[in-house]
Amino acid sequence: MAVETSADIETSGVDPDWAKIRKRFPVLENKTYLNSCSYGAMSTDVREALYRYIQDREERGTDWDYWVGRNESVRAAVADFLGANADEIAITTSASASINSIASAMDFTGRRKKVVISAFEFPTDAQIWYAQELRGAEVVRVPERDGYIPVEDFESAIDDETLLVAVTHVCYYNGARLDIPAIAEIAKAKGAMMMVDGFQGLGTFEFNVRRIPVDFVVGGMLKYLLGSAGLAFLYVRDELIEKLVPTVTGWFAQSDIFAMDNTRYDPSPTARRFETGTPPVPNSYVAEASLGIIAEVGLPAIEHRIREITAEIIAQAKSAGYTLAVSEDPERHGALITLRAHDEDAIVEALAAEGIVTSCRAGNLRISPHFYNNGDDIDTLFGALRKHAHLLV
Ligand SMILES: Cc1ncc(COP(=O)(O)O)c(C=O)c1O
Protein backbone atom coordinates (compact mmCIF):
# COMPACT_ATOMS: atom_id res chain seq x y z
CA MET A 1 0.00 0.00 0.00
CA ALA A 2 0.95 3.64 -0.58
CA VAL A 3 2.21 4.48 2.89
CA GLU A 4 5.44 2.51 2.46
CA THR A 5 6.97 4.94 -0.02
CA SER A 6 8.13 8.44 0.74
CA ALA A 7 8.77 9.50 -2.82
CA ASP A 8 6.11 12.19 -2.79
CA ILE A 9 7.16 13.80 0.47
CA GLU A 10 8.67 17.21 -0.06
CA THR A 11 10.94 18.21 2.79
CA SER A 12 13.64 20.66 1.83
CA GLY A 13 14.52 18.37 -1.03
CA VAL A 14 15.41 15.39 1.19
CA ASP A 15 13.01 12.49 1.69
CA PRO A 16 13.54 10.72 4.98
CA ASP A 17 14.47 7.06 4.72
CA TRP A 18 11.47 5.80 6.70
CA ALA A 19 12.59 2.17 6.77
CA LYS A 20 15.93 3.19 8.28
CA ILE A 21 14.29 5.52 10.80
CA ARG A 22 11.88 2.75 11.80
CA LYS A 23 14.82 0.54 12.83
CA ARG A 24 15.63 3.04 15.57
CA PHE A 25 12.43 1.97 17.39
CA PRO A 26 13.04 -1.63 18.50
CA VAL A 27 9.54 -2.19 19.88
CA LEU A 28 8.30 -2.18 16.26
CA GLU A 29 10.13 -5.47 15.69
CA ASN A 30 8.04 -7.10 18.40
CA LYS A 31 4.74 -5.29 18.27
CA THR A 32 2.42 -3.49 15.93
CA TYR A 33 2.69 -0.32 17.96
CA LEU A 34 -0.20 2.11 17.37
CA ASN A 35 -0.46 3.79 20.75
CA SER A 36 1.58 6.97 20.45
CA CYS A 37 -1.33 9.00 21.90
CA SER A 38 -0.58 7.21 25.15
CA TYR A 39 3.18 6.77 25.05
CA GLY A 40 5.51 7.25 22.07
CA ALA A 41 7.71 4.30 21.10
CA MET A 42 11.18 4.29 22.63
CA SER A 43 14.08 4.85 20.26
CA THR A 44 17.62 3.53 20.51
CA ASP A 45 18.64 7.21 20.88
CA VAL A 46 16.56 7.43 24.06
CA ARG A 47 17.87 4.11 25.32
CA GLU A 48 21.44 5.36 24.84
CA ALA A 49 20.60 8.64 26.59
CA LEU A 50 19.33 6.72 29.62
CA TYR A 51 22.51 4.63 29.69
CA ARG A 52 24.54 7.82 29.38
CA TYR A 53 22.78 9.21 32.44
CA ILE A 54 23.71 6.11 34.43
CA GLN A 55 27.27 6.26 33.14
CA ASP A 56 27.55 9.96 33.98
CA ARG A 57 26.41 9.29 37.53
CA GLU A 58 28.97 6.57 37.91
CA GLU A 59 31.77 8.58 36.35
CA ARG A 60 31.03 12.12 37.53
CA GLY A 61 29.32 11.48 40.84
CA THR A 62 27.69 14.84 41.41
CA ASP A 63 27.77 17.43 38.66
CA TRP A 64 24.96 19.89 39.09
CA ASP A 65 26.24 22.34 36.49
CA TYR A 66 26.28 19.63 33.86
CA TRP A 67 22.77 18.46 34.79
CA VAL A 68 21.38 21.99 34.77
CA GLY A 69 23.02 22.25 31.33
CA ARG A 70 20.96 19.25 30.12
CA ASN A 71 17.82 21.03 31.27
CA GLU A 72 18.88 24.21 29.47
CA SER A 73 19.51 22.25 26.32
CA VAL A 74 15.96 20.85 26.47
CA ARG A 75 14.64 24.38 26.98
CA ALA A 76 16.48 25.53 23.85
CA ALA A 77 15.20 22.56 21.81
CA VAL A 78 11.58 23.13 22.91
CA ALA A 79 11.92 26.83 22.08
CA ASP A 80 13.27 25.87 18.70
CA PHE A 81 10.42 23.65 17.63
CA LEU A 82 7.78 26.11 18.88
CA GLY A 83 9.50 29.09 17.22
CA ALA A 84 9.87 30.73 20.66
CA ASN A 85 12.80 32.22 22.59
CA ALA A 86 14.34 30.05 25.30
CA ASP A 87 13.37 32.70 27.88
CA GLU A 88 9.71 32.06 27.04
CA ILE A 89 9.94 28.36 28.00
CA ALA A 90 9.51 26.79 31.43
CA ILE A 91 10.56 23.18 31.87
CA THR A 92 8.19 21.40 34.24
CA THR A 93 7.35 17.86 35.27
CA SER A 94 3.77 17.59 33.93
CA ALA A 95 1.14 19.50 32.02
CA SER A 96 -0.70 19.82 35.33
CA ALA A 97 2.32 21.58 36.89
CA SER A 98 2.47 24.00 33.94
CA ILE A 99 -1.23 24.82 34.06
CA ASN A 100 -1.28 25.15 37.85
CA SER A 101 1.55 27.64 37.76
CA ILE A 102 -0.31 29.85 35.27
CA ALA A 103 -3.60 29.42 37.13
CA SER A 104 -1.93 30.53 40.37
CA ALA A 105 -0.86 33.77 38.68
CA MET A 106 -4.34 34.63 37.35
CA ASP A 107 -6.44 37.30 39.02
CA PHE A 108 -10.13 36.37 39.01
CA THR A 109 -11.30 39.31 41.10
CA GLY A 110 -11.84 41.76 38.22
CA ARG A 111 -14.58 42.01 35.60
CA ARG A 112 -12.88 39.35 33.47
CA LYS A 113 -13.22 36.15 35.43
CA LYS A 114 -14.42 33.62 32.82
CA VAL A 115 -12.24 30.72 31.70
CA VAL A 116 -13.58 29.19 28.48
CA ILE A 117 -12.73 25.50 28.13
CA SER A 118 -14.16 22.77 25.89
CA ALA A 119 -15.71 19.33 26.27
CA PHE A 120 -12.51 17.99 24.68
CA GLU A 121 -10.27 18.88 27.63
CA PHE A 122 -8.11 16.23 29.20
CA PRO A 123 -9.50 15.85 32.77
CA THR A 124 -6.50 17.46 34.48
CA ASP A 125 -6.94 20.70 32.50
CA ALA A 126 -10.63 21.02 33.30
CA GLN A 127 -10.14 20.04 36.94
CA ILE A 128 -7.51 22.74 37.45
CA TRP A 129 -9.75 25.42 35.96
CA TYR A 130 -12.80 24.26 37.97
CA ALA A 131 -10.58 24.42 41.07
CA GLN A 132 -10.06 28.12 40.29
CA GLU A 133 -13.79 28.67 40.91
CA LEU A 134 -12.75 28.57 44.58
CA ARG A 135 -10.69 31.71 43.78
CA GLY A 136 -13.44 33.54 41.88
CA ALA A 137 -13.15 32.09 38.36
CA GLU A 138 -16.22 31.17 36.31
CA VAL A 139 -15.67 28.21 34.00
CA VAL A 140 -17.60 28.18 30.71
CA ARG A 141 -17.51 24.75 29.02
CA VAL A 142 -18.21 24.62 25.29
CA PRO A 143 -19.94 21.29 24.52
CA GLU A 144 -19.18 19.03 21.56
CA ARG A 145 -21.59 18.49 18.66
CA ASP A 146 -21.34 15.02 17.12
CA GLY A 147 -17.65 14.62 17.86
CA TYR A 148 -16.55 18.14 16.92
CA ILE A 149 -16.71 21.75 18.16
CA PRO A 150 -17.03 24.36 15.42
CA VAL A 151 -15.30 27.73 15.79
CA GLU A 152 -18.70 29.53 15.99
CA ASP A 153 -19.37 27.83 19.32
CA PHE A 154 -16.22 29.40 20.76
CA GLU A 155 -17.11 32.72 19.15
CA SER A 156 -20.36 32.81 21.13
CA ALA A 157 -18.78 31.58 24.38
CA ILE A 158 -15.92 34.13 24.46
CA ASP A 159 -16.96 37.63 25.54
CA ASP A 160 -15.60 40.73 27.22
CA GLU A 161 -15.74 38.99 30.60
CA THR A 162 -13.43 36.21 29.39
CA LEU A 163 -10.03 36.27 31.04
CA LEU A 164 -8.67 33.12 29.41
CA VAL A 165 -9.56 30.65 26.68
CA ALA A 166 -7.89 27.33 27.60
CA VAL A 167 -8.50 24.57 25.07
CA THR A 168 -6.86 21.42 23.83
CA HIS A 169 -5.57 21.23 20.27
CA VAL A 170 -6.31 17.54 19.68
CA CYS A 171 -8.86 15.72 21.85
CA TYR A 172 -7.49 12.74 23.79
CA TYR A 173 -10.67 10.65 23.55
CA ASN A 174 -11.66 10.99 19.89
CA GLY A 175 -8.73 12.67 18.11
CA ALA A 176 -10.71 15.75 16.97
CA ARG A 177 -8.44 18.67 16.08
CA LEU A 178 -9.76 22.14 16.92
CA ASP A 179 -9.12 25.13 14.72
CA ILE A 180 -6.72 26.75 17.18
CA PRO A 181 -5.56 29.59 14.88
CA ALA A 182 -9.18 30.74 14.43
CA ILE A 183 -10.06 30.37 18.12
CA ALA A 184 -6.88 32.25 19.09
CA GLU A 185 -7.85 35.13 16.77
CA ILE A 186 -11.27 35.34 18.42
CA ALA A 187 -9.71 35.33 21.91
CA LYS A 188 -7.32 38.09 20.86
CA ALA A 189 -10.07 40.20 19.29
CA LYS A 190 -12.12 39.94 22.48
CA GLY A 191 -9.17 40.83 24.72
CA ALA A 192 -8.83 37.40 26.35
CA MET A 193 -5.64 35.41 26.88
CA MET A 194 -5.30 32.09 25.07
CA MET A 195 -3.80 28.81 26.27
CA VAL A 196 -3.53 25.70 24.11
CA ASP A 197 -2.88 22.23 25.46
CA GLY A 198 -0.74 20.80 22.67
CA PHE A 199 -0.02 17.48 24.36
CA GLN A 200 -1.85 15.41 21.72
CA GLY A 201 -0.66 17.46 18.77
CA LEU A 202 2.91 18.67 19.27
CA GLY A 203 5.34 16.39 17.48
CA THR A 204 2.83 15.55 14.75
CA PHE A 205 2.55 18.90 12.98
CA GLU A 206 4.24 22.28 12.91
CA PHE A 207 3.08 24.76 15.53
CA ASN A 208 4.75 28.15 15.58
CA VAL A 209 3.89 30.61 18.32
CA ARG A 210 4.94 33.54 16.14
CA ARG A 211 2.27 32.65 13.58
CA ILE A 212 -0.60 31.75 15.91
CA PRO A 213 -1.53 34.36 18.56
CA VAL A 214 -1.47 32.07 21.59
CA ASP A 215 -0.18 33.28 24.96
CA PHE A 216 0.50 29.91 26.55
CA VAL A 217 1.29 26.47 25.16
CA VAL A 218 1.33 23.39 27.35
CA GLY A 219 2.92 20.13 26.26
CA GLY A 220 4.87 17.13 27.45
CA MET A 221 7.44 14.70 26.18
CA LEU A 222 5.88 11.28 26.59
CA LYS A 223 3.61 11.00 23.57
CA TYR A 224 4.44 12.20 20.06
CA LEU A 225 7.63 13.90 21.25
CA LEU A 226 8.99 10.42 21.97
CA GLY A 227 10.49 11.12 25.38
CA SER A 228 9.47 10.03 28.85
CA ALA A 229 6.87 10.75 31.48
CA GLY A 230 8.01 13.36 34.01
CA LEU A 231 9.11 16.09 31.61
CA ALA A 232 6.77 18.74 30.31
CA PHE A 233 6.98 22.37 29.27
CA LEU A 234 5.16 25.65 29.11
CA TYR A 235 5.50 28.48 26.63
CA VAL A 236 4.55 31.96 27.87
CA ARG A 237 4.51 34.91 25.46
CA ASP A 238 7.28 37.29 26.51
CA GLU A 239 5.07 40.38 27.12
CA LEU A 240 3.08 38.41 29.71
CA ILE A 241 5.89 36.85 31.71
CA GLU A 242 6.60 39.68 34.13
CA LYS A 243 2.90 40.56 34.46
CA LEU A 244 2.16 37.09 35.84
CA VAL A 245 3.42 36.30 39.33
CA PRO A 246 2.79 32.65 40.17
CA THR A 247 2.16 31.65 43.78
CA VAL A 248 2.95 28.04 42.87
CA THR A 249 6.73 28.38 42.96
CA GLY A 250 10.08 27.08 44.27
CA TRP A 251 13.81 27.68 44.22
CA PHE A 252 14.24 26.96 40.51
CA ALA A 253 11.76 29.77 39.79
CA GLN A 254 13.83 32.47 41.47
CA SER A 255 15.94 35.12 39.74
CA ASP A 256 19.08 33.47 41.07
CA ILE A 257 18.53 29.77 41.70
CA PHE A 258 21.67 29.39 43.73
CA ALA A 259 21.22 32.54 45.87
CA MET A 260 19.81 30.17 48.51
CA ASP A 261 17.89 33.12 49.95
CA ASN A 262 15.20 31.91 52.32
CA THR A 263 14.05 35.39 53.30
CA ARG A 264 11.99 36.40 50.24
CA TYR A 265 10.34 35.55 46.90
CA ASP A 266 12.20 36.92 43.89
CA PRO A 267 10.73 35.40 40.70
CA SER A 268 12.89 35.08 37.60
CA PRO A 269 12.26 37.68 34.86
CA THR A 270 12.02 34.80 32.37
CA ALA A 271 9.49 31.96 32.02
CA ARG A 272 11.61 30.05 34.50
CA ARG A 273 9.39 31.77 37.10
CA PHE A 274 6.76 29.13 36.22
CA GLU A 275 9.01 26.28 37.36
CA THR A 276 9.26 24.95 40.91
CA GLY A 277 11.94 22.55 42.20
CA THR A 278 14.80 20.31 41.09
CA PRO A 279 14.44 19.36 37.42
CA PRO A 280 13.90 15.70 36.44
CA VAL A 281 17.50 15.04 35.36
CA PRO A 282 17.17 11.57 33.70
CA ASN A 283 14.16 12.84 31.75
CA SER A 284 16.22 15.77 30.45
CA TYR A 285 18.73 13.36 28.94
CA VAL A 286 15.82 11.52 27.31
CA ALA A 287 14.19 14.71 26.02
CA GLU A 288 17.44 15.93 24.48
CA ALA A 289 17.65 12.68 22.52
CA SER A 290 14.01 12.48 21.49
CA LEU A 291 13.75 16.12 20.42
CA GLY A 292 16.89 15.46 18.41
CA ILE A 293 15.02 12.84 16.37
CA ILE A 294 12.05 15.14 15.81
CA ALA A 295 14.41 17.88 14.59
CA GLU A 296 16.35 15.45 12.42
CA VAL A 297 13.28 14.01 10.67
CA GLY A 298 11.63 17.44 10.57
CA LEU A 299 8.05 18.38 11.31
CA PRO A 300 7.00 18.97 7.67
CA ALA A 301 8.00 15.39 6.78
CA ILE A 302 6.42 14.02 9.96
CA GLU A 303 3.17 15.85 9.30
CA HIS A 304 3.02 14.61 5.73
CA ARG A 305 3.79 11.05 6.75
CA ILE A 306 1.11 11.05 9.47
CA ARG A 307 -1.42 12.43 6.97
CA GLU A 308 -0.70 9.51 4.67
CA ILE A 309 -0.98 6.92 7.40
CA THR A 310 -4.12 8.37 8.98
CA ALA A 311 -5.74 8.65 5.53
CA GLU A 312 -5.02 4.95 5.02
CA ILE A 313 -6.55 4.07 8.40
CA ILE A 314 -9.67 6.06 7.54
CA ALA A 315 -9.92 4.45 4.08
CA GLN A 316 -9.60 0.92 5.47
CA ALA A 317 -12.08 1.64 8.29
CA LYS A 318 -14.63 2.97 5.82
CA SER A 319 -14.24 0.09 3.41
CA ALA A 320 -14.71 -2.38 6.30
CA GLY A 321 -17.87 -0.50 7.36
CA TYR A 322 -16.65 0.56 10.83
CA THR A 323 -17.90 3.77 12.41
CA LEU A 324 -15.38 6.60 12.69
CA ALA A 325 -15.63 8.61 15.92
CA VAL A 326 -13.71 11.50 14.35
CA SER A 327 -14.04 13.55 11.19
CA GLU A 328 -12.24 12.24 8.11
CA ASP A 329 -11.22 15.80 7.20
CA PRO A 330 -7.45 15.99 7.92
CA GLU A 331 -7.92 19.54 9.23
CA ARG A 332 -10.29 18.14 11.86
CA HIS A 333 -8.35 15.17 13.20
CA GLY A 334 -4.91 14.68 14.70
CA ALA A 335 -2.62 11.65 14.47
CA LEU A 336 -5.23 9.87 16.57
CA ILE A 337 -8.00 8.09 14.64
CA THR A 338 -10.87 6.58 16.60
CA LEU A 339 -13.50 3.93 15.88
CA ARG A 340 -16.72 3.46 17.83
CA ALA A 341 -16.65 0.21 19.81
CA HIS A 342 -19.39 -1.86 21.47
CA ASP A 343 -16.83 -3.03 23.99
CA GLU A 344 -13.74 -0.83 24.01
CA ASP A 345 -11.77 -2.84 26.58
CA ALA A 346 -12.48 -6.14 24.82
CA ILE A 347 -11.27 -4.87 21.44
CA VAL A 348 -8.05 -3.44 22.94
CA GLU A 349 -7.46 -6.77 24.72
CA ALA A 350 -8.19 -8.83 21.60
CA LEU A 351 -5.72 -6.74 19.60
CA ALA A 352 -3.12 -6.95 22.37
CA ALA A 353 -3.38 -10.75 22.25
CA GLU A 354 -2.25 -10.48 18.62
CA GLY A 355 0.66 -8.17 19.44
CA ILE A 356 -1.13 -4.97 18.40
CA VAL A 357 -0.90 -2.13 20.89
CA THR A 358 -3.81 0.33 20.93
CA SER A 359 -5.90 1.95 23.67
CA CYS A 360 -9.43 3.19 24.28
CA ARG A 361 -11.39 6.04 25.82
CA ALA A 362 -15.05 7.00 25.97
CA GLY A 363 -16.26 4.04 23.90
CA ASN A 364 -13.66 4.60 21.19
CA LEU A 365 -10.83 2.40 19.99
CA ARG A 366 -7.81 4.73 19.71
CA ILE A 367 -5.40 4.10 16.83
CA SER A 368 -2.48 6.50 17.01
CA PRO A 369 0.37 6.06 14.53
CA HIS A 370 3.55 8.10 14.28
CA PHE A 371 6.08 8.53 11.48
CA TYR A 372 7.69 5.21 12.43
CA ASN A 373 4.62 3.21 11.45
CA ASN A 374 4.10 1.88 7.95
CA GLY A 375 1.51 0.32 5.68
CA ASP A 376 2.16 -3.18 6.99
CA ASP A 377 1.22 -2.04 10.49
CA ILE A 378 -2.11 -0.76 9.19
CA ASP A 379 -2.77 -3.94 7.20
CA THR A 380 -1.95 -6.03 10.29
CA LEU A 381 -4.35 -3.96 12.37
CA PHE A 382 -7.23 -4.25 9.93
CA GLY A 383 -6.57 -7.96 9.41
CA ALA A 384 -7.01 -8.45 13.17
CA LEU A 385 -10.03 -6.11 13.36
CA ARG A 386 -11.83 -8.26 10.78
CA LYS A 387 -11.68 -11.17 13.23
CA HIS A 388 -13.13 -9.07 16.04
CA ALA A 389 -15.50 -6.90 14.02
CA HIS A 390 -18.42 -7.77 16.31
CA LEU A 391 -16.74 -5.65 19.02
CA LEU A 392 -16.87 -2.56 16.78
CA VAL A 393 -19.91 -0.48 15.86
C1 LIG B 1 -4.30 16.61 26.17
C2 LIG B 1 -3.54 16.11 27.37
N3 LIG B 1 -3.15 16.98 28.32
C4 LIG B 1 -2.46 16.58 29.40
C5 LIG B 1 -2.12 15.25 29.56
C6 LIG B 1 -1.32 14.81 30.75
O7 LIG B 1 -1.19 15.73 31.78
P8 LIG B 1 -0.08 15.53 32.90
O9 LIG B 1 1.26 15.73 32.26
O10 LIG B 1 -0.38 16.55 33.90
O11 LIG B 1 -0.23 14.15 33.44
C12 LIG B 1 -2.52 14.31 28.59
C13 LIG B 1 -2.22 12.88 28.65
O14 LIG B 1 -1.71 12.23 29.45
C15 LIG B 1 -3.24 14.75 27.48
O16 LIG B 1 -3.62 13.90 26.52
Task: Name the DSSP class of 223.
Answer: S
Percent of the chain at pLDDT above 90? 94
Between the alpha carbon of residue 68 and those of residues 13, 188, 234, 236, 269, the distances in Å are: 37, 36, 18, 21, 18
Mean pLDDT (the chain, rounded): 95
Question: Residue 322 in contact with residue 339, Cβ under 8 Å?
Answer: yes
**How do the residues of the chain divide into helix, strand and coil, expressed in percent and rounded to 5?**
45, 15, 40
Q: Is the dihedral of CA 166, 171, 173, 176 positive or negative?
A: positive
What is the pairing mode between strands 359-361 and 162-168?
Answer: unpaired
H or E segment to which residue 357 belongs: strand 356-357
Which pLDDT does position 14 carry in this prediction? Answer: 62
Beta-strand ranges (E) seen in 138-250 are 138-142, 162-168, 193-197, 216-220, 232-236
Q: pLDDT tens, 138-159?
A: 999 999 999 999 999 999 999 9
Q: pLDDT tens, 166-217?
A: 999 999 999 999 999 999 999 999 999 999 999 999 999 999 999 999 999 9
Nearest atom within ligand 1 for CA of residue 172: 16
Closest CA to 154 of 136, 181, 133: 181
Q: pLDDT tens, 85-104?
A: 999 999 999 999 999 999 99
Mutate to test the pocket of ligand 1, among 36, 93, 122, 228 (most ligand atoms within 8 A of CB): 122
| Average pLDDT for 337-357 | 98
Banded pLDDT at 9 (limits 50, 70, 90): very low
Mutate to test the pocket of ligand 1, among 200, 217, 228, 248 (most ligand atoms within 8 A of CB): 200
Closest CA to 92 of 256, 274, 292: 274
State yes or no: pLDDT of 2 exceeds 80.
no
Which pLDDT does position 64 carry in this prediction? Answer: 87
Q: pLDDT tens, 14-29?
A: 689 999 999 999 999 9
Q: Give me the sheet containing 359-361, strands edge to edge.
A: 337-340, 364-367, 359-361
Percent of the chain at pLDDT above 70? 96
Q: pLDDT tens, 293-330?
A: 999 999 999 999 999 999 999 999 999 999 999 999 99
Banded pLDDT at 6 (limits 50, 70, 90): very low
Q: pTM, whole model, 2 decimals?
A: 0.96
Please indicate whether residue 95, judged by its CB atom, sits closer than 6 Å to ligand 1.
Answer: yes
Nearest atom within ligand 1 for CA of residue 220: 9
Nearest Cα residue to atom 7 of ligand 1:
95
